[in-house]
Amino acid sequence: MGGIPLILCVTGKMAAGKNAASEILSAKGFAAVDADSVVHEILGDSSVVERIVGEFSADAEKRGIRLVRPDGSLDRRSLGALVFSEKAFLSRQEAIVLPEVDRRLRAFASGCRARGQDAVINATVLHKIGCIAECDAVIFVDAPFFVRLLRARRRDALPFRRILARFWAQRNLFSKYKKSNADTYRVKNTGDLRVLERNIAECMEKIERAKRGEK
């Protein structure tokens, strides 16, 4: 974008299109990091797997869920089915994983600032960790409920009940970002990529004007 680097968070509810929005910004020259990929890397660490299994093995056994595959790796889908079934389970998992997510995302943002590189952090959970303070603005990608439901079903092939459980867990996500003290902009995504690109461009104009102190 020129001048002082811009660090953005792109977020949104499940299947709203935040990945597509992040890819649009990446094509414009933004360095991009996907928090889901960061989590995936963390959950591949044997010490983290050991902590997760120790924390949830009893709860998983009660529900007939196997958390570990035969090769010893963590079954992320099974873990997801468990932690999204109860709010307390999700909080317990996040207490293990999020501190390391925060550390890695902060390092990414700091590195981009040092290089003068605009950057986008693609993340749903950024409002829960300190790295939100590194972001100049939040782009919240939104889409109609049934559009998201069908997208999630086609993309992840999960049972509807599991998709709806995740939808329910994210029901107040926009208000949580609004309360995070980050400038938050809602961008609509109905499924047409060209429309999303236009909406992102309009949002970026607003962010740039705010950055310059204009209305």
Is 19 within any annotated ligand binding site?
A: yes
Please state whether beta strands 7-12 and 137-142 pair in parallel, antiparallel, or not at all (unpaired): parallel
Is 17 within any annotated ligand binding site?
A: yes
Cα–Cα distance for residue pair 122/154, rounded to 1 Å:
21
Is 20 within any annotated ligand binding site?
A: yes
Nearest to 128 by CA among 87, 95, 165: 95
Nearest to 18 by CA among 169, 206, 174: 174
Structure tokens at 191: 């499924």
CA dist 180 → 52, 122, 184, 212 (Å): 28, 16, 9, 21
Is 18 within any annotated ligand binding site?
A: yes
Cα–Cα distance for residue pair 174/67, rounded to 1 Å:
31
The residue length of the chain stands at 215
Is 137 within any annotated ligand binding site?
A: no
Radius of gyration of the chain (CA): 18
Which residue positions form the known binding site?
15-20
Which residue positions form the known binding site for ATP?
15-20
